[in-house]
Amino acid sequence: MSLLFLLRSSQRIPFKSALPQIKLLRRQQLSSHSTPLTSCQAIDSIEQSNSTLNAFVSYRTKDDIAKSEPQNGPLKGWPVGIKANIAMTTASTTCASKVLEGYTSPFKATAVEALEKAGAVIVGKTNMDEFGMGSKNLYSKYGPARNPFRPDDTVGTEIYDYSPGGSSGGSGAAVAAGMCRVALGSDTGGSVRLPGAWCGIVGYKPTYGRISRYGLVPYGSSLDTVGIMARTVEDVLSTFKAICIPDHRDMTCMSESLRKRINDMAKSRPWVNKLYEVSPGESLEIKQPLKGMRIGIPRECWVEELSEPALESWKAGARRLADLGCEIVAVSLPHLPYSLPTYYTIALAEASSNLARYDGIRYGRRSSEKPDDLHNCNASNKYANTRSEGFGVEVQRRILLGTYVLSAQTCEQYYIPSQKIRRLIQQDFDSVFALPNALHAESALAKSRLLTSRPAGVDALLFPTSTNTARLLESKEKNQAAGYVNDVMTVPANLAGIPAISVPAGKKNGMPLGLQLSAQYGDDELLLRIASHLQQ
């Protein structure tokens, strides 16, 4: 069924972003590794390309890696990059900010511990927007990371002018350029999925609470997730299984009982379980491995800023899933157009609170500015100078906006209504998915209904990851808010806490495009299985 037919009753929804039109250019083809990437090959690639791409802010030497034998496990020998806001004891955790210059954490993040236990080899820390605040990897004390893809008319030159996306741009560029097999990022509003789309790789944001946030430096605590980036969905799935563990050190991490409840509900769907029971002679099941699945196309994602290349890739993705046996249906998420202002109200409020701890007294950078006289020699001035010198322009902007949102005069006008809209967005998602939300008390009753009949609703949603292909690093927005529209397709999943994944969806004039799938809260494994069939 035509996507345009499904959406013909809808009108494009303007977000009034006035995004400048960017000419679609071709990029140089990147060679894929026919054999698994080793840690030595990864270091060779970093040493060769990092001066151009600026994907890693620090990395290990071959001699250092040779001294430590990786543990036996499912990821043994896999070279992995770690975003600069995820704690390690052997490398500094700066969040690409001057305020944490030279800071080394006294403990490891749970995700890093799990990776090493599974046999992975950590090769270095990747570049990012300062404290995760940005969508183009421009706001870093190390300078911008660059996209390894470039237009064909610059082949033979040293011009790399395209953004890898943000804030996990270094992780995205590193995986795409063969500097590591897998990279961890963080996704607060699309910071793993947008680089995935712009760098032509897979970017996966799990359900909130699936992977422990212990050791992830917080930006927006109710939105932050540890995400995974790789070239294939299979590598993402292997990594996810290794680090998806309960953790009592993170109060937001899923408990064992909640994980069991989700698994029990997921197994109660006969139309899904049948997908993995191929009987002899059932050739239809092999040709159409997703037969019986229902995929929703959200009308509200057909926005005014959606470029023709993104729309065409969306249509092609819907056709591909239909060929695989899926039923494609239009759905409505009526509060989705409010997701962007809701996200930026809540995220900035949480950021202003979380970043209040950086005062230059307990750890990190401290201002060296000398007071002019004894009257100015006090802790408040030292504190203010430290934050003014340490935080970059974008972080300062977001702290100021977040502090304003939480002030007594404006909290009831902005922050509280945004939390109410967030709940409505969550309810919109619950209303379109066939699987009930396991967090709700009535989920046990809903589970019994799943066993008897196919309920109304869809198993996953399909929509673009970005409104366009990768943008030029130096492109100027008409206003500051226009730059935030890069996140318009990704922030709803963070507000709802549901899993979402971006997979490569072809190219337009050589530049990668990404398609996004999302599923019900906790339904990560089904989402990854569908994504493995969608990936081109």
Between CA 508 and CA 255 the distance in angstroms is 43
User: Does residue 167 have an active-site annotation?
Assistant: yes
Between CA 227 and CA 256 the distance in angstroms is 21
Edge-to-edge strand order for the sheet containing 121-126? 56-59, 121-126, 79-83, 182-187, 225-230, 202-205, 500-508, 511-518, 460-464, 294-298, 327-331
Selected catalytic residue, list 45, 49, 167, 418:
167
Backbone torsions φ then ψ of 203, nearest 5 degrees: -125, 120
| Residue 251: other Cβ atoms inside 10 A | 9
Cβ pair 154, 459 in contact under 8 A: no
Which is nearest to 216 in space by CA: 303, 88, 49, 119?
A: 88
- The dihedral through the CA atoms of 373, 379, 384, 385 has a sign that is positive
Helix (H) or strand (E) holding 328: strand 327-331
In sequence order, which residues have a C-beta less than 8 Å from that of residue 184 and are 6 or more positions away?
80, 81, 82, 83, 86, 111, 112, 115, 171, 226, 227, 228, 229
Cβ pair 517, 534 in contact under 8 A: yes
Between CA 382 and CA 371 the distance in angstroms is 9
Selected catalytic residue, list 39, 83, 186, 507:
83
For the chain, how many helices (H) and strands (E)? 19, 11
| Residue 407: other Cβ atoms inside 10 A | 12
Cβ pair 136, 172 in contact under 8 A: no
User: Does residue 83 have an active-site annotation?
Assistant: yes
The answer for 160, left when phi > 0, alpha when psi is -120 to 50, beta otherwise, is beta
Cβ pair 208, 252 in contact under 8 A: yes
User: Does residue 332 have an active-site annotation?
Assistant: no
Helices (H), 58-159: 62-66, 110-117
479, burial (CB in 10 Å: exposed 0-12, middle 13-18, buried 19+): exposed
Selected catalytic residue, list 140, 186, 191, 339:
191
| Catalytic positions, written as ranges | 83, 167, 191
